[in-house]
A and B are shown apart, each in its own frame.
Chain A
């Protein structure tokens, strides 16, 4: 298969909907031709009916006008619908492709932050699909120009040529002004965006402002920013006014020239009065398809830029190459001589029925250990052995490794839904399991039906942390790794949580990466992680009696 590029992605988009698009484009071409014929028809009716006074001619040509409008409206209705449906479907398909790729359990190396990926999945998907709109618009504009050209040349060749050359030259000339216009408008939009961002930022921090009595100075800061924006928008408005004025003047002057030329010919009897009207009408009409062509080009360029970003996500290589073993025979974790980032020859054992505390003096050691255990580090990036239940982690398939080891991070991410839906985490767990987990996490004060917004903002920090802990406990993995699960919880509750974890996880493997004495005290053993390796082992009581540095780190 050829490698996907931005251009190929756009071609693929069009190819996926070619039937619908072809129909749509043909209909839209018909529509544009009909639009071009409206001024022609006005001229014909004036010429053939109004000028002659023949009733039959009038009836006939009005009938033709009705047919023209009927086809014009029908063509557009079904043509535009086809194009829009194709565009919407393609946007949807691209969006799902992005989400599927990004959520792939093997991870992705896009080098993009979550916000950027979101941008790609929403606006870039939409913009890439507009290539269909641009294409159909361009095709229709070309057809309209052709129809107009034929009509004009049929009336008078020199006059027709003058109009057909003059209009594109005019439109192109006006386009020369547009970079300045775009730049000013972009500058204005940017400052306006900054002012809006400042407003939302200040409102987000309103409690902090009120707390220190800074509401007045905040309002002043905003006023200054608002005035800067006003100046920028006024500059843009002036430029825009100049542009509009020049456009109006130039197109009016062109009309005057065409009218003069055509009038001269009519006076000489080379064209009829009706043809004069047609020429003037068409001279005004064809500016529209020429402009459409210009903006279609612009849209294709934008679509292309978005397609490039989409390709970056869709073709991003996977981080992991998982193994194939689908079963984990036992619990427990074994690390032998592991070197990874700040870890330097770390060896660590966690028996299948043991709760072990890990106190790291350096946060980087803890982060490296957590990343290793979460199975997101590719085998090539570390040396040494990481085994789960006696099997090297790298030999397991992703489903098995993730079922065996669960790492719940310090900053808990909850999902939109209810407390209950978060506790079940997509699985259907028995009620008793969930209730026991909730009790152990001291989260029983939070109603199960409490609505949770994305990121859990409807809950307090402490509630969020306890729901996350309960979720991890309810999942009941063979090996559970918890990272500082009680930082947002008060001392009294922390004590309850510590005993709850110990009780619920009795007989299973649990690793507590924490500096909380309450948690370390319930661990069977505590390992001290220093300089990338284990430097001391013992119970919390032993270590706090014998080791001064340990005492200083945990006893608060």
Chain B
């Protein structure tokens, strides 16, 4: 998948590789020339030779510098472009995951993929990647240089190779689990701190200060001990690397000594070989030390590719147009996984433009019914049709909109938040939508009006404002069918009533199913459906049901506080 992306940029790929190899090769010139210079001096050269050697090193330095710069820039360009395409694809696929998959996987996992994993890969690509590539190339080319000096010197240097490999093979299986435990411990520590600090008022109210401090202390200590343990292990790895360096260097010097004595190589060649090997200390160290980061970046990358390779859900093969905006549910039943039935044989028809309120206790199945009616949840049994067409065969997004209980304010300018619903909405349309839901006054009062940056880390909107915003988005999306399942989180009935008015205005003229968390919402509806344990127990107008004296009438009495 990554390779396919790289191949889409063939010239960039080739140029990157060529300049990187040339840059690394340029680094080999200096030790070589130095070795030659030593032989020249021993062999009685003149000052001109020394100057020439210095000039060669200087020219090599200039061209190496140029090549290094170009290759680093090209490498970043290649990596960053591929990464940008990858992250865009990952987000696209994540957003288009089916609702049920989304629930099963959990928001936490997806958030860490589009957030932490992308960051991990980016960091690796920006800092470690170029270093690693140049280190690897330097190692390969320097080893080649050693052999070019003399194959016996090359072999002597190669003695260190297995020792490096053994050191890494000793380290990785030990460090992996250690790092994993450390990460978990650090996460738990952060969790304990967040929980204590953010809920400080509650901690104090229940006199839990000592308990919470002790908890943070304990977790911080565990994380600290693990971090120290990880570092101890790391120092032992470095010890092994030092040993490999010593063996390689000593082998080259001893071998050079014997070869010089046998008159097979010059002192200069031995010098160059020793300098080559000394030059390898840092790049080999870099490769080994970055191994962990590369591994974890690799794991993150795998998680990203896993998402990117998902197929986008296909739109229906033949898109049909509904005959009208009437919504009909027939024999709908649902259960989550192997749990109990949460909906059982629910049938209801909402006429075009009609407003139906669903009433019931917590756990009666109201939200499930709303999700199924909106086509976001596939029922275990039964069918949902809009204007005679099953919702699966519709371009659903164009006809049906749903506001769920989770109200979210998207970070960024307020107007951008609204334009998510309608990309090309004019300022005038935006203003009208805000006016319809009664949000004009507070939006005008914002520091920068429509351009005020809102969201978690900027201007925080109140729960009621966030709901009005969600309703304004619904108005802009302009669906024929609206499903409302937003709880009025507002404390106090004045605010709640204002929101009810806004919801009524936003859904005027649309076929509407509204989950009534407050019975006033039911009172305003054309018809009321009472759910109990997933079954329909009553349907009718508000007046009729109150008159009938059944379950709804009882609820209404207790709600209004009448009769007491």
* A521 on the B face (CB < 8 A): yes
Residues of B with C-beta under 8 A to A222 = 88, 91-92
* B323 on the A face (CB < 8 A): no
CA distance A403 to B87 in the complex (A): 53
* B330 on the A face (CB < 8 A): no
Question: Contacting chain A: which of B165-173, B243-251, B288-296, B343-351?
Answer: B243-251
**Interface 1/0 per residue, B83-115 and A, CB below 8 Å:** 010011001101110010010000100110011
Shortest A234–chain B CB gap in Å is: 6
Q: Find the A residue at minimum CB distance from B103.
A: A207
Q: Find the A residue at minimum CB distance from B93.
A: A219
CA distance A406 to B201 in the complex (A): 11
Residues of B with C-beta under 8 A to A234 = 76-77, 80
Q: Are A103 and B209 in contact (CB under 8 A)?
A: yes
Residues of A with C-beta under 8 A to B208 = 415, 425-426
Q: Are B408 and A277 in contact (CB under 8 A)?
A: no
Q: Are B561 and A518 in contact (CB under 8 A)?
A: yes
Q: Find the B residue at minimum CB distance from A120.
A: B197
* A157 on the B face (CB < 8 A): no
**Interface 1/0 per residue, B403-426 and A, CB below 8 Å:** 111111111100010011101000
Contact of A230 among B62, B80, B110 (CB under 8 A): B80
Shortest B247–chain A CB gap in Å is: 9
Shortest B420–chain A CB gap in Å is: 4
* A146 on the B face (CB < 8 A): no
* B275 on the A face (CB < 8 A): yes
Residues of B with C-beta under 8 A to A491 = 518-519, 555, 558-559
* A88 on the B face (CB < 8 A): yes
**Interface 1/0 per residue, B328-372 and A, CB below 8 Å:** 000000000000000000000000000000001111000000000
Residues of B with C-beta under 8 A to A92 = 220-221, 224
Residues of A with C-beta under 8 A to B470 = 208
Q: Are B204 and A220 in contact (CB under 8 A)?
A: no
Question: Contacting chain B: which of A10-18, A160-168, A258-266, A322-330?
Answer: A258-266
* A209 on the B face (CB < 8 A): yes
Residues of B with C-beta under 8 A to A196 = 114-115, 118-119
Shortest A53–chain B CB gap in Å is: 5
CA distance A203 to B84 in the complex (A): 18
Residues of B with C-beta under 8 A to A201 = 410-411, 455-456
Q: Are B197 and A211 in contact (CB under 8 A)?
A: no
Residues of A with C-beta under 8 A to B456 = 201
* B232 on the A face (CB < 8 A): yes
Q: Are B492 and A484 in contact (CB under 8 A)?
A: yes
Question: Contacting chain B: which of A75-83, A343-351, A379-387?
Answer: A75-83
Q: Are A76 and B235 in contact (CB under 8 A)?
A: yes
Question: Contacting chain B: which of A148-156, A247-255, A296-304?
Answer: A247-255
Q: Are A114 and B198 in contact (CB under 8 A)?
A: yes
**Interface 1/0 per residue, B249-278 and A, CB below 8 Å:** 110011011001100000100110011001
- Residues B525-564 near A (CB distance < 8 A): 555, 558-561, 564
- Residues A209-226 near B (CB distance < 8 A): 209-215, 217-223, 226
CA distance A221 to B92 in the complex (A): 11
Q: Are B253 and A413 in contact (CB under 8 A)?
A: no
Shortest B101–chain A CB gap in Å is: 11
Contact of A102 among B192, B197, B235, B410 (CB under 8 A): B197
Residues of B with C-beta under 8 A to A114 = 197-198, 200
**Interface 1/0 per residue, A411-450 and B, CB below 8 Å:** 0110110000000011000000000000000000100000
Shortest B108–chain A CB gap in Å is: 9
Q: Are B362 and A493 in contact (CB under 8 A)?
A: yes
Question: Contacting chain B: which of A333-341, A503-511, A527-535, A548-556?
Answer: A548-556
Q: Are A237 and B80 in contact (CB under 8 A)?
A: yes
Contact of A256 among B61, B362, B560 (CB under 8 A): B61
Known: A203-B111, A207-B406, A260-B50. A230 touches B246 (CB 8 A): no
Q: Are B107 and A273 in contact (CB under 8 A)?
A: no
Q: Are A426 and B560 in contact (CB under 8 A)?
A: no
Q: Find the B residue at minimum CB distance from A66.
A: B246
CA distance A243 to B72 in the complex (A): 10
Residues of A with C-beta under 8 A to B55 = 256
Residues of A with C-beta under 8 A to B520 = 556
Shortest B305–chain A CB gap in Å is: 16
CA distance A157 to B124 in the complex (A): 45
Q: Are A211 and B401 in contact (CB under 8 A)?
A: yes
CA distance A230 to B363 in the complex (A): 47
Residues of B with C-beta under 8 A to A462 = 362
Shortest A419–chain B CB gap in Å is: 15
Known: A230-B80, A248-B61, A276-B38. A555 touches B410 (CB 8 A): no
Q: Are A200 and B70 in contact (CB under 8 A)?
A: no
The size of the chain A interface, using a CB distance under 8 A, is: 154
Q: Find the A residue at minimum CB distance from B281.
A: A38
Contact of B271 among A46, A205, A246, A521 (CB under 8 A): A46
CA distance A65 to B488 in the complex (A): 77
Residues of B with C-beta under 8 A to A89 = 224
Q: Are B423 and A245 in contact (CB under 8 A)?
A: no
Residues of B with C-beta under 8 A to A280 = 34, 275
Q: Are A487 and B267 in contact (CB under 8 A)?
A: no
Residues of B with C-beta under 8 A to A109 = none
CA distance A62 to B251 in the complex (A): 10
Residues of B with C-beta under 8 A to A495 = 558-559
Q: Are B200 and A102 in contact (CB under 8 A)?
A: yes
Q: Find the B residue at minimum CB distance from A360.
A: B492
Q: Find the B residue at minimum CB distance from A35.
A: B281
* A461 on the B face (CB < 8 A): yes
CA distance A495 to B411 in the complex (A): 38
* A5 on the B face (CB < 8 A): no
Q: Find the A residue at minimum CB distance from B397.
A: A213
* B133 on the A face (CB < 8 A): no
CA distance A323 to B491 in the complex (A): 34
CA distance A200 to B457 in the complex (A): 13
Contact of B561 among A199, A246, A475, A544 (CB under 8 A): A544
CA distance A214 to B422 in the complex (A): 8
Shortest A376–chain B CB gap in Å is: 8
* A536 on the B face (CB < 8 A): no
Question: Contacting chain B: which of A93-101, A135-143, A175-183, A388-396?
Answer: A93-101
Known: A266-B41, A484-B492, A556-B518. A81 touches B231 (CB 8 A): yes
CA distance A120 to B51 in the complex (A): 58
* A241 on the B face (CB < 8 A): yes
* B69 on the A face (CB < 8 A): yes
CA distance A66 to B248 in the complex (A): 12
Q: Are A42 and B274 in contact (CB under 8 A)?
A: yes
Shortest B294–chain A CB gap in Å is: 19
* B58 on the A face (CB < 8 A): yes
Q: Are A202 and B72 in contact (CB under 8 A)?
A: no
Residues of A with C-beta under 8 A to B68 = 241, 244-245, 248-249
Q: Are B491 and A220 in contact (CB under 8 A)?
A: no
Shortest A238–chain B CB gap in Å is: 5
CA distance A2 to B443 in the complex (A): 50
Residues of A with C-beta under 8 A to B412 = 198
Of A46, A218, A409, most B-chain CB atoms within 10 Å: A46
* A117 on the B face (CB < 8 A): yes
Residues of A with C-beta under 8 A to B271 = 42, 46, 50, 273, 277
* B212 on the A face (CB < 8 A): yes
Which 4 pairs between the two chains have the least Cβ-Cβ distance?
A: A252-B61, A245-B69, A249-B65, A213-B397
A-B contact pairs, 27 of them (CB 8 A): A50-B257, A118-B194, A196-B115, A202-B410, A210-B376, A217-B420, A221-B416, A230-B80, A237-B72, A242-B73, A249-B61, A249-B66, A253-B62, A259-B30, A259-B57, A260-B54, A267-B47, A413-B198, A425-B208, A454-B195, A462-B362, A483-B491, A491-B555, A518-B559, A521-B561, A541-B564, A556-B560
Sample of 19 further A-B pairs with CB below 8 A, known A81-B235, A461-B487: A51-B267, A66-B246, A69-B245, A72-B242, A99-B197, A203-B95, A204-B111, A204-B408, A213-B396, A213-B401, A214-B397, A241-B70, A242-B73, A252-B57, A260-B50, A266-B41, A374-B201, A425-B208, A554-B561
